Structure 1
Amino acid sequence: MSNVAINMITNEQKKALWGAAKSKGIDKDVLYSIIEDVSGKEHMTELTFLEAAKVLDRVNNKKHDSNQKRTDEGGNIATQAQRRKIYVLTGKLGWNDNDDRVNGFVKKVFKVERLEWLNKYQCNKLIEMLKKMVIEKGGSIDE
């Protein structure tokens, strides 16, 4: 067995995790499920420095990995196909790497927090807006 020292979670990281969780409205149970999902460990005190940083990124929504649910799934079933079209268009605009950008645009235009909460009319309006933006950027709206 080697004598390599592993840096464990610091008190500052613990405070940052609890602070970020509180600001995002994440309770203790959800925070610990994030810890387990990211690190496979059940207790915050078992985290390494690097694992704690990864958990903090997840809490702060900085890491968008394959486990994160896309907003074209779930939500309003009546708008699921429309949301897929929206993701095709936002992909052409280079926005698909950041759900916060898409949801921020939705919030600014429709005063609705998340894409999946839009109704059919709002989705149609958003699709038309995005089509115009893609064309202005010099892209094609054909799939």
Structure 2
Amino acid sequence: MAYKRNQYHGSIRAIWGLAKSPELMLEEDILYAIIRRETKKESMRQLSQSEIDNVCRILQNMKDDVTRANKGKRTDEGGNTETERLRKKVYALTEELGWNDNNNRINGFVMKMFKVSRIEWLTYAQCNKLIEILKKMIDRQEAEKANGSKEKAETPHQ
């Protein structure tokens, strides 16, 4: 009987461990609300082993959902390791173009030009071609600004 009690007590510890994990950080009243919702019982000591297992599974799923939601939000990490240095150059060029406020813009441009959904998946050759395209776009943008300022200077004021 002592063995079963320790196993039972350990399972209650598992519930608390999951609830207080850095991903969930559940308050005591929220944890008990989850237990009431799932088992219709007010106390952890009233739970059967299968109910404890069920609560642990639910808390683990909640923890996994939080972990999954936090993963993969950065776009300057991962992807093709060969092109990491080239992507940094691409990000510097998009900064000059004023595109860094919206990552969908560069990914949409990559999709249009190379039929690849994300910049991270470009090959080495495609990254080089993208860099050259962006450089030409910057040159055109600067030329338009220069022509615009010349036209304003040449226009007589009346």
TM-score, structure 2 normalization: 0.46
Q: Output the aligned Cα RMSD.
A: 2.8
Q: Kindly state the Cα deviation for residue 32 of structure 1 after the two structures are TM-superposed.
A: 4.1
Runs of 4+ aligned residues of structure 1 deviating over 6 Å after TM superposition are 28-31
Instruction: Note if 1:69 corresponds to 2:74.
Output: yes
Partners of 2:63 and 2:103 in 1: how far apart?
20
Partners of 1:36 and 1:113 in 2: how far apart?
20
Identity between Structure 1 and Structure 2 (%): 50
Structure 2 partner of 1:33: 66
Cα distance change, pair 30–118 in 1 and its aligned pair in 2 (3 A) = farther
Instruction: Note if 1:99 corresponds to 2:103.
Output: yes
Q: Larger C-alpha radius of gyration, 1 or 2? A: 2
TM-score, structure 1 normalization: 0.50
SS at match of 1:116: helix
Instruction: Note if 1:117 corresponds to 2:121.
Output: yes
Partners of 1:118 and 1:74 in 2: how far apart?
12
Partners of 2:69 and 2:103 in 1: how far apart?
23
CA deviation string 1:83-110 (max 9, x = no partner): 0000000010111111110100000000
Q: Kindly state the Cα deviation for residue 74 of structure 1 after the two structures are TM-superposed.
A: 1.2
Which runs of structure 2 are paired with 1:51-90 in the superposition (5 Å)?
68-70=73-75, 72-90=76-94
Cα distance change, pair 129–34 in 1 and its aligned pair in 2 (3 A) = same
Q: Unaligned regions of 5+ residues in structure 1, if any?
A: 1-27, 38-66
Partners of 1:125 and 1:101 in 2: how far apart?
17
Q: Unaligned regions of 5+ residues in structure 2, if any?
A: 1-60, 144-158
Partners of 1:131 and 1:98 in 2: how far apart?
19
